[in-house]
Structure 1
Amino acid sequence: MTEQYCKTKDIALRLQISPATVLKWVKKYRIPYTVNASGHYCFAEDTVPEFLKIKNQHQQEGSRAVENSEHVSRSVMLDRLAQTEENVQILERMIMNKADDIVTFQMVEQRRKIEALTKKMDKLEKQMEEQGRAPRRKQEEAAGMPYSNHPPAGLFQFE
C-alpha cells in the first residue's frame, strides 16, 4: 500500500495557516518530511495530527498571552497615567512660575519707566522755574537789587 503525501500548501489549507508557518513549525518541532523532485516539502499523512496538535498548542498559548497582556497592560497603563498626571502638575507649576516671572519683569520695567519719566518731569520743572526766574533776575539786576531765590511773599496762599 502506498503512503499518501501532502505538500506544504495542502497542510496550510487544512489547518488554515500560512505555508510559511508550516515551514517554521517543521524546523522548530523537527517534523519529518521528504523533498520531491521539484524541491517541494512532502509530509506523510500521519504528520497532519502532529501539525494540528501544534496549532492547538499555539492557540492556547496565544489566548493565555492575550489574557496576561491585558492584565499587564492595564497595570502599565495605570502607572503611565499616574506618571502623566505628575508630569502635568509639574508643568502647571512651571507655567505658574513663568507667569509670575513675567509679571514681575513687567512691573520692574514699568517702575523703571515711571522713574525715568519722573526724572524728566523734575528736570523740566527746574527748567521752567529757571526760565520763570530769568526775567525777574534781569529786572532785579537792572534795578540794582540783589537776586533772591525765594518767591515773593504772599505769592502762595495756604488755607
Structure 2
Amino acid sequence: MELKTHEVAKELGMAPRTIRKWVQKYKIPCSKNDYGHYVYDQKAISLLETLKANSEVAGTLDDYETPLQSTEPSTINPPFEPKEQKMDLLYDRINRVERLLDQKADEVVSYQLLQQRKEIEELTKRIGELEEYIHTLQTPNVKKYEPPLIFDQPIKNKRRGMFRSIFGL
C-alpha cells in the first residue's frame, strides 16, 4: 500500500510540508509518481514515525542528533540505539529545556524590574508634587499692607478734646 504526502501527514498528525522536508533532509527512501509527488511505502512511513517519536517538537531536529541522521548520505542508521545513547540524548534534551527555562526566567525578571522601576519613578514624581503642595499650604499668606490713607483713619471725636482743653485734665 502506497500513500501520498497529505495522507501520511494526516496519519501522523503532522503538516505535509514537514513530511517533505524530512524526506529531503534525512534521505528517507520513497518514490515519486508520474506527477512528481512523493509516494510512501510502509518502510518510509515507519521511518517517519520513528523520526516523529524521537523529536520533542517539530522543528527541533536540527538541535539534536537523531537516529536517522548519518554521515554518509546514502545510508540510513537503524532506528534502534543503545541505552547509553538514548540516555545521552535525554540528558541533552533536559539540559536544553533547563537552559530555555533559565532564559525565560531571566526575561521575566527583567520585565518585572523594568515595570517596578517605572512604578517607582511615577511614585517619586507624585511624592514631589505632594511635597510642593504641602509647602504651599504651610507658608502663611503674607499680605503686603500699603500705608494707610488719610481717609482710612477713624474720625476722632473733637468734642472730647475740647472738653479736656477747657477743664485742663
TM-score (norm: length of structure 1):
0.55
Identical counterparts, % of pairs: 16
* 1:21 counterpart = 2:18: yes
Identify, as 1 or 2, the structure richer in helix: 1
Equivalent positions of 1:5-44 (< 5 A) are 5-44=2-41
Report what 1:142 is aligned to: none
Report what 2:151 is aligned to: 128
1:91 maps to which of 111, 119, 122:
122
Deviation at 1:23, TM superposition (A): 1.9
Deviation at 1:29, TM superposition (A): 2.6
2:105 maps to which of 74, 90, 93:
74
* Runs of 4+ residues over 4 Å off in structure 1: 60-68, 106-110, 129-133
SS in 1 for 2:34: coil
Q: Can you give the 5+ residue segments of structure 2 that lack an aligned partner in the other structure? A: 62-92, 165-169
Deviation at 1:71, TM superposition (A): 4.2
Equivalent positions of 1:27-66 (< 5 A) are 27-59=24-56, 64=94
- Output the amino acid matched with 1:126: L
TM-score (norm: length of structure 2):
0.52
Report what 1:145 is aligned to: none
Q: Can you give the 5+ residue segments of structure 1 that lack an aligned partner in the other structure? A: 137-151, 155-159
Over residues 69-116 of structure 1, what are the superposed CA-to-partner deviations in whole Å (9 max), with x where a residue is unaligned?
444323432343244333322322222113223444x459974xx43x
SS in 2 for 1:87: helix
Aligned pairs, number:
126
